[in-house]
Amino acid sequence: MGSSRSAGTGTAAQEAPATGRRRAAGLGAAALGGALALTAAAVTPAAAHTGGHPGAGHGKPAVHYVALGDSYTSGPAIPTQVDANCARSDRNYPSLVAAAGRYASFTDVSCGGATTAQMWQAQGTNGPQLDAVDRDTTLVTLQIGGNDIGFGSIIATCAGLSVTDPAGSPCKQHYRASGVDQLTVNVVKTAPKIAQVLRDVHRRAPHAEVVVVGYPDLLPDDGVGCFPAVPFAAGDFPYLRDTEKSLNTMLKIVALFGGAEYVDTYRPTVGHDMCKAPADRWIEPLVPASPAAPAHPNAKGEQVMAQAVTAGIGGRSPGR
């Protein structure tokens, strides 16, 4: 199936000496900053993209909205599922944004498990996501990169290692065993992939407003864990929180230099992470209590992300 159209629709490494830990952290931060600077410098003049807000100008022209993304976009297990191949819900945030905006057309090709590669490659019955974007497209939202850095494998690895040292940080030790933080490296390596997606979106839809959507707050922002309800070791909660923040920072920087707006969904969801009580959380833990995939937004989480995206549409990007 091509585009989908809808009307609303190992063991842990031993702890290194303190100097080694500081060196690893410093190398990680330096690598992230340096690589993102290189990525920004390599971005073509898409940063001067001049396509205005779809509703701006004479007579408010019709808005043709295309949503691209992974499972945080598609809404797996949230009723009602309208595409089994992609675990896509008709109550995901793009569908809510589209319904609120009463857009002329809406195409949601987000798909659970997608990486940036699926922008150009089919995923089961879902065609290459970028095939949904054309010259008539006037609004594009993009939420991608989590699977490129390895969200699923990170969760499985950290949960498995937590039993070896629940009070420590075995997951952080694991990913820093080489002396350089591997998750920081993953974030750095993903930056040029996001930049390439943005360049191709602008090429295909030169007049579209492009919005990069960040990831919501998955773990307590204060770094205090909730083992065993969420099975990560105490010291790995802040480590994983900071990894997600690094991912969001990268997305924001690449959006800035790639002629796109950035929508922050992290701050609006702080205090509603997977450690909170069922009535208060918008992100479900590894054993969900509400219909949603593990470590993913539930219906309320998708609703809050929709509100953030709706508020962010029409923002200013470089050159506008």
CB 310 within 8 A of CB 141: no
Which residues, including other chains, have CB under 8 Å from residue 39's CB and lie 6 or more apart?
191, 192, 195, 253, 254, 257
Catalytic pick from 64, 174, 202, 296?
A: 296
Active site residue 6: no
Quickly count: other Cβ atoms within 10 Å of residue 182's Cβ. 17
DSSP secondary structure of 251-318? HHHHHHHTT-EEE--SGGGTT-STTS-TTT-SB--SS-SSSS-TTSB-HHHHHHHHHHHHHHTT---T
- The tokens describing 141, both together, are 């939202």
CB 281 within 8 A of CB 269: no
CB 162 within 8 A of CB 227: yes
Q: How would you class 308 by CB atoms within 10 Å of its CB: exposed for 0-12, middle for 13-18, buried for 19 or more?
A: buried
Measured between alpha carbons, how far is 72 from 94 in angstroms, rounded to an integer? 11
- For Cα atoms 30, 31, 33, give the angle at the middle one, nearest 5 degrees: 65
Catalytic pick from 71, 89, 95, 317?
A: 71
**The pairing of beta strand 261-263 with beta strand 209-213:** parallel
Instruction: Report in angstroms the alpha-carbon separations of 164 from 168, 239, 293.
Output: 9, 17, 26
Active site residue 296: yes
Measured between alpha carbons, how far is 63 from 319 in angstroms, rounded to an integer? 21
Measured between alpha carbons, how far is 90 from 87 in angstroms, rounded to an integer? 10
Question: Which residues are annotated as catalytic?
Answer: 71, 296
